[in-house]
A and B are shown apart, each in its own frame.
Chain A
Amino acid sequence: MPDAVRQRPAAIEAVPVRHVGRWVAAVVVLAIAAEIVYTLATAPNLKWSVVSHYLTHRLILQGIVTTLELTVLSMLIGIVLGVVLAVMRLSPNPVVSWVSWIYIWFFRGTPVLVQIFLWFNLALVLPFIGVGIPFTSIHWQANTNTLIAPFMAATLGLGFNEAAYMAEIVRAGIISVEHGQTEAAQALGMTRLLLMRRIVLPQAMRVIIPPTGNETISMLKTTSLAFVAAVPELFTRSQQIASATFEIIELAFVASIWYLAMTSILTVGQYYLERYFARGAQRGLPPTPIQRFRRMLVTFHAPPPVPEELPVRLERPH
Chain B
Amino acid sequence: MVKAEAVHKSFGRLEVLRGIDLEVAPKEVMCIIGPSGSGKSTFLRCINHLEKIDAGRLSVDGELVGYKQRGDKLYELPDAEVCKKRSEIGMVFQRFNLFPHMTALDNVIEAPMRVKRENRAVASERARTLLERVGLGDKVNVYPNHLSGGQQQRVAIARALAMQPKLMLFDEPTSALDPELVGDVLDVMRGLADDGMTMVVVTHEMGFAREVGDSLVFMDGGVIVEAGKPRDVLANPQQERTRSFLSKVL
> Which A residues contact B (CB, under 8 angstroms)?
178, 180-181, 183-192, 194, 198-199, 202-203, 279-283, 312, 314-318
Contacts and interface: CB of A to CB of B under 8 A. Distances in A.
B246 interface: no
A192 B115 contact: no
Given A181-B99, A191-B79, A280-B101, A312 B50 contact: no
Nearest to B45: A183
Contacts of B97: 178, 180-181, 183-184
Nearest to B144: A280
A184 B180 contact: no
B134 to A, nearest CB: 13
Contact of B86 (A188, A279, A280): A188
Given A203-B101, A280-B100, A184 B93 contact: yes
Given A181-B97, A203-B100, A315 B163 contact: no
B123 to A, nearest CB: 13
A192 B111 contact: no
A180 B115 contact: no
A302 B91 CA distance: 47
Interface in B149-184: 150-151, 156, 159-160, 163, 178, 180-184
A224 B102 CA distance: 41
A312 B93 contact: no
A299 B218 CA distance: 63
Nearest to B102: A280
Contacts of B48: 187
Interface string B85-107: 11111110101011111100000
Given A183-B97, A191-B83, A315 B111 contact: no
A189 B178 contact: no
Given A202-B101, A317-B180, A188 B80 contact: no
A280 B163 contact: no
B70 interface: no
B84 interface: yes
B146 A189 contact: no
B148 A189 contact: no
Contacts of B184: 315, 317-318
Nearest to B91: A187
Nearest to B156: A184
A315 B151 contact: yes
B145 interface: yes
A180 B95 contact: yes
A309 B146 CA distance: 10
A192 B82 CA distance: 11
B143 interface: yes
A189 B84 contact: yes
A315 B156 CA distance: 17
Given A281-B100, A315-B181, 4 more contacts: A184-B91, A189-B111, A280-B143, A317-B181
Contacts of A194: 114-115
A279 B101 CA distance: 7
B55 interface: no
Contacts of B79: 191-192
Which of B48, B50, B100, B150 has most chain A Cβ within 10 Å?
Answer: B100
Nearest to A190: B115
Nearest to B162: A188
Contacts of A187: 48, 50, 86, 89-91, 93, 160
A31 B32 CA distance: 74
B220 interface: no
B147 interface: yes
Nearest to A317: B183
B83 A199 contact: no
22 contacts: A181-B97, A181-B99, A184-B98, A185-B99, A186-B86, A187-B50, A187-B91, A188-B110, A190-B111, A190-B114, A191-B80, A191-B83, A202-B101, A280-B101, A280-B145, A281-B100, A281-B101, A314-B148, A315-B148, A315-B151, A315-B184, A318-B183
A316 B180 contact: yes
Contacts of A191: 79-80, 83
